[in-house]
Amino acid sequence: MHTKVIPFLKHLVISYAVSMALVSLAAVLLWKLSLTAGQMQPGIYAIYGLSCLIGGFLTGRRMKARRILWGLLFGLLYFAVLFLLMVLLTHTAPVFLARQAISLAICLLGGFLGALIS
């Protein structure tokens, strides 16, 4: 079990590092181009998808067996951490809205596709 959990967590950290770099780039674009938050939403979804794709790919290559399941689990955990951070940072009760449903679907799809192509 230990041989699967540690690499899985490392892949999660790599995915969040990719996310942070891309979100920083998006913030600069938001500032320089005077974009609205609504205009940036598709970019944020793309960042989630790309990060989960990378993490799912790394996880699928490492796990060998049940790659698809591991990729879906990766996407689910990636989303769960995002959702938890949103709740902690906004100090609001967790409400599952359409944006969170879209984010969850994108994270699951990214992890799935990453594991599939690994």
pLDDT digits (tens, 9 = 90+) for 19-63: 999 999 988 988 888 888 788 889 999 999 999 999 999 999 988
Predicted local confidence at residue 69, as pLDDT = 93
- pTM value? 0.86
CA–CA–CA angle 91, 93, 98 (5° rounding): 110
* Contact call for residues 95 and 41 (beta carbons, < 8 A): no
Tell which wins on pLDDT, 92 or 18: 18
Q: What is the DSSP string of 31-100?
A: HHTT--HHHHHHHHHHHHHHHHHHHHHHHHHHH-TTHHHHHHHHHHHHHHHHHHHHHHHHT------HHH
* Domain, as residue range, for 91: 2-117
* Contact call for residues 52 and 107 (beta carbons, < 8 A): yes
Q: How many domains does the chain have?
A: 1
pLDDT digits (tens, 9 = 90+) for 68-107: 999 999 999 999 999 888 888 887 766 668 888 899 999 9
